[in-house]
Amino acid sequence: MQRILLFLYRLRAFLLFLVLEGIAIWLIVSYNSPQGSAFFNSANQVSGSVLAAQNSVVEYFSLASVNKALVEKNAELLAELEAFKKPADSVFIELDSTLLHSFQFKGAKVINNSLNLSQNFITVNKGSKHGIKEGMGVFNEDGAIGRVKGVTKNFATVISVLHTDLLISSKIASSEVFGSTKWDGKNPKQAKLLYVPRHVTIEKGDKVVTSGYNAVFPEGIPIGTILEVSQGTDTNYLDITIELAADFSRVSYVYLVENNQEEELNELYQSNGVNNE
């Protein structure tokens, strides 16, 4: 017995090495599972507040560009609003009121961001206290940014579009052909549009927008423009490179969108065995 203990004592460094690596690997695996542990990430109370404090200093450097972007977005929204104004000399009939209110929007500030790893995350300064839920879509005035992964009371982590596992249901605006946008981990300005069949003709410069099929994003939020189309190695699908609309190196304010009917939609999909991504 004593010999065994002595033997183990001599091996203590190696055993501790195995234990610590085991813990680390367990953390890696559990964090990357679809459920994901929301606690040990940049959204927890301690690291969240440190990041928020850091951001309150750094944000001044980007004020000018943020203001400019917001003004542009405002102008665009005003122009859209103009189209919805009811003329004084006509009667307005609401056709279906349930469809009108299916999306809710919330604003948040980005306090942590990365773009050079192969799995990038963004942290925002709103959490469950402000009504943020897992699975909400995230976009800014330029285009889609990602999807909420984990929420704590005051902060939330967002899986960035620059994450090699995130698929976004998208379509080509001009031809309504749909596919999935996925980042290939190489260039933070470009992504791939997958599952577009070979027979489709595509022009360079076509806009790619969200399709609205999987209820995370409303329809028509820009994702990017088509940069390059080639035949690729896949026998069924085209190899399409798109240039992302959002500049991930300068994301400072984002909008979060919640679909009030997502639960109902998911239930419908599940009960019918449809897997929509």
Partner 1 sequence: MNSSRIFLLVIGFIIYFFVQVLLLKNLVLFGSAFCFLYVLYILLLPVDMKTVPTMLIAFVLGFGVDLFYDTLGIHAASAVALGFVRSGWLKVLTPTGGYDDDLQPSMLNMNFGWFLTYSIPLFLLHHLIFFYIENLGTNLFLPVVQKIIFSSIFVFIMSIIVQLLFYRRRRGI
Nearer to partner 1, 63 or 117 (CB): 117
| Backbone dihedral region for residue 228 (phi beyond 0: left; psi -120 to 50: alpha; all else: beta) | beta
For the stretch 197-234, what's the b/e string if a residue is b when 16 or more beta carbons lie within 10 angstroms of its beta carbon?
Answer: eeeeebeeebbbbbbbbbbbbeeebbbbbbbebeeeee
Based on the shown chain and the rule CB under 8 A, indicate whether residue 165 belongs to the binding site for partner 1: yes
Asked whether 121 and 41 are in contact (CB, 8 A), the reply is yes
Are the C-beta atoms of 173 and 207 separated by less than 8 Å? yes
Q: For residue 99, with 0-12 CB atoms within 10 Å meaning exposed, 13-18 middle and 19 or more buried, which class applies?
A: exposed
Q: Which of residues 74-133 bind partner 1 (CB under 8 A)?
A: 112, 114, 116-121, 123
State which of residues 44, 154, 211, 214 lies at the interface with partner 1 (CB under 8 A). 44
Q: In 3D, which of 164, 162, 172 has the Cα closest to residue 244?
A: 162
DSSP assignment, residue 224?
E
Q: Does 51 bind partner 1 (CB under 8 A)?
A: yes
Among 6, 16, 77, 268, the residue binding partner 1 under the rule CB under 8 A is: 16
Cross-strand bridge partners of residue 226: 242
Of 125 and 157, CB closest to partner 1: 157
Of 6, 24, 75, 274, the residue at the interface with partner 1 (CB under 8 A) is 24
**From 41, 140, 169, 211, residue interacting with partner 1 (rule: CB under 8 A):** 41
Residue of the chain from 6, 11, 23, 77 that contacts partner 1 (CB under 8 A): 23
In terms of CB distance, is 17 or 105 closer to partner 1? 17
Q: CB under 8 A: which stretch of 33-41, 63-71, 80-88, 237-245 binds partner 1?
A: 33-41
CA geometry: angle at 102 spanning 98 and 108, to 5°? 155
Least distance from partner 1 to the Cβ atom of residue 29, Å: 8
Residue 50 interacts with partner 1 (CB under 8 A)?
Answer: yes
Binding site for partner 1 (CB under 8 A): 12-14, 16-17, 20-21, 23-28, 31, 37, 40-42, 44, 46-47, 50-51, 54, 112, 114, 116-121, 123, 157, 164-165, 184-188
